[in-house]
Amino acid sequence: MRGVLRFGAAAAILALVACRDQTPVPSAKGPDSVEPQLPAVPKSTPEAGAPSEARAFVPERVQGEGMAMGTHLAFAAFTTEKVSAAKTREAFDAAIAEIRRVEALMTTWKPDSEISRINAAAGKSAVAVGDETFGIVKESVHASEISEGTFDITFHTLHGLWKFDEDLDPHPPAAKDVAARLPFVGYKNIKLDEAKKTVMLAKERTQIGLGGIAKGYAVDRAVKVLEQAGLTSFFVQAGGDLFARGKKADGTDWQAGIRDPRGPEGSYFAKLPLADHAFSTAGDYERSYVIGNKRYHHIIDPRTGQPATACRSVTIWAESALVADEIDDAVFILGPEKGMKLVESLDGVGAVIVDAKNNLWVSNRLKGKLQVVGVPSDGI
């Protein structure tokens, strides 16, 4: 991508959003809503005695699920005259296998993965990698360049200081420990050789991790698998990364709810149509804890080593899951004004932001598409 990334409430609030370009709309505490469940399409049954040739094909909704990349995978698709329910389930299995292949290639948990080999050679030597890994690292560097370094895979250098996962420890790291690692964080430490397909980390203590981009890429790969199987209407979800192809059997759009960042789990304040688009949300409500009146969360500004404070949630709508995945954290860290400027500069990308003051921001491309169904709740 050059200039554009590649890889390939109420009614009153919505009315205000539609009239003001990138202007925050004040929001207040409102009702919580339950994230919509995609309804199954009922099967029609021919009348008894009806000739078989009169039976029209009725698409069947098929669902599947799995686990990979440390998150829950969910699939839904409608059968076609050429792709049966059994074939659809086989396609889901193949998509899960593809996601797991990407995970094995790009994880830092396996010492023999290409990313682990790059990290092991930091400050010493360049590492030859496959085209796939090289392309993702190159894309990551470009995302860093256009986002003022707010998306930065060398953030992994800070790994272990903040504990928000299974090792949750509700105590921020000492400032001196963060300061000791910050000199080794920075995407400019990544040296790429296009001809040799090598990656080198210039400083010995610099480390990279693809947690902010690999899941989106894996979703895009799963989409390719389902398309190759002949499916034309489906939905893929890996945690907070989603993609929908086509429309549902009844002709309506697939839709995804945007979670209320201060509401109960499962509540949402808005929803977006997803026909042939991806959707990814970065929120400070996941993997977080509150001490006093301050929330600490997993979206760390790589420039400071501290949790970003300008937003509560950022949802990115884009033509690929990879783009949505890498841009949501960057916009979250940049804040609503700079973040929206970045979004509007990218072809085919839209954003919905709930900022730190609980104001709602909607990018130009999503005005008229976003359906606000409740005011985001307020809170710490």
In tens, the pLDDT along 237-279 reads: 999 999 999 999 999 999 999 999 999 999 999 999 999 999 9
Q: How many CA atoms lie within 13 A of 274 on its CB side?
A: 27
Beta-carbon contacts of residue 234 (< 8 Å; ≥ 6 apart): 75, 76, 77, 78, 226, 244, 245, 246
Q: Summarize the annotated binding site for Mg(2+) as residue ranges.
A: 212, 325
| Other Cβ atoms closer than 10 A to 236 | 28
Buried b (16+ CB within 10 A) or exposed e, 310-331: bbbbbbbbbbbbbbbbbbbbbb
pLDDT at 26: 35
Helical packing angle, 321-334 and 214-228, nearest 10°: 160
pLDDT at 22: 42
Burial grade of 37 (CB within 10 A; 0-12, 13-18, 19 or more): exposed
Q: What is the pTM of this model?
A: 0.84
pLDDT at 37: 44
Convert the pLDDT of each residue in 339-349 to its tens digit: 999 999 999 99
- Phi/psi at 52 (5° precision): -60, -35
Q: How many CA atoms lie within 13 A of 8 on its CB side?
A: 14
CA-to-CA distance for 4 and 318, rounded, in angstroms?
Answer: 11
Beta-carbon contacts of residue 104 (< 8 Å; ≥ 6 apart): 110, 113
The encoded tokens of residue 46 equal 């021919």
> Is the separation of the CB atoms in 119 and 125 below 8 Å?
no
pLDDT at 167: 74
Burial grade of 204 (CB within 10 A; 0-12, 13-18, 19 or more): exposed
The encoded tokens of residue 286 equal 């996941």
- Phi/psi at 331 (5° precision): -65, -40
pLDDT at 54: 57
* Ordered domains of the chain (ranges, CATH): 114-201 (1.10.3980.10), 253-380 (3.10.520.10)
**DSSP run (H or E) holding 74:** strand 71-78
Percent of the chain's residues with pLDDT above 70: 86
Which residue numbers in the chain have pLDDT < 70? Answer: 1-54
pLDDT at 169: 83
pLDDT at 28: 32
pLDDT at 181: 98
- Phi/psi at 333 (5° precision): -75, -40
The encoded tokens of residue 272 equal 């977006």
Q: Summarize the annotated binding site as residue ranges.
A: 212, 325
Rg over alpha carbons for the chain, rounded to the nearest Å, is 22
